[in-house]
Structure 1
Amino acid sequence: MEECFICSKHRRMAELPGGMLLADEHCLVSHLPLVLPQGPRESVYLGYLMVEPRRHIAELGDLSPPEASSLGRLAASASSALRSATGAEHIYAAIIGHGVEHLHLHLIPRYPGTPREYWRTRVDEWPEGPRGDAARIDELADAIRAAAPSE
């Protein structure tokens, strides 16, 4: 059986660009990595964050009450920090896809100048959106951490 992409990513978090942005005992937030299940990328859409439970579960309904609370709290904190750090006009939140069978919430910023109708297309096709390599992800991660609300 093939290992879960997200469980493996959690064990390598210190090696990934941006590392862990926010976390508690149940969930963590990180930037979209440069190595995806489809293969490596030179750059990714900057500010594309993932909120993931630490425990391997497939569905939203499988979260325990403390995990569900953590997912919501960290998503709200990450969204606020992302908007503050980047000037994004809106943060989309979605649980989509079956490419990885580990629950993950996507937080996707829409930056000024990106037409609203782009939500119908893949985020990597948004021409006005900034893209970044490892160095740019690290820089943005520091700004997000600094903008994160303290608890």
Structure 2
Amino acid sequence: MMEIAGVWEKVDAAGFTSRRGAMLRWGAEDWTIDWAEFFGADERGWQVERAEFDEILLRHAQELGVEVVESAHVRRSSSRVIPLREGRFSIGFVTHKIRFVERRKEFASDDEMLRALVQESETVRKQLAGAEFIGPTRVEQHYSYVDRVNVGR
């Protein structure tokens, strides 16, 4: 995947520890996974430092023309536009369930709500200028949690 994205050389040059498999322990069992056995002799990965790895990927995307907005504060919801094949896009808006329920009352349908949310977002509106809506809108719920402490105390 990183070769396809054109970022393999940058990640490799970062000097992360190279991995060609894994050793796992599950209870009293030890497992060894040799990636060459499953994927071929040239396959490997890295044990990355996540912040540095993410920075490499972000800057590479920026070099390819992706608009990157940093230190932005998102209130109530965020949006995503994912390019699909044949000129189609997947559009999504992410918000807290309570906020979704409140906003949903304003609209006769999910399709109407999605169209309104697209118009409210200058960025999404510009990205989809001239696009044709292909419905129906689907509403998905994802159950997550928030923790006050990520590690330790």
TM, length-normalised to structure 1: 0.27
Structure number with greater CO (CA < 8 Å, separation at least 6) is 1
TM, length-normalised to structure 2: 0.26
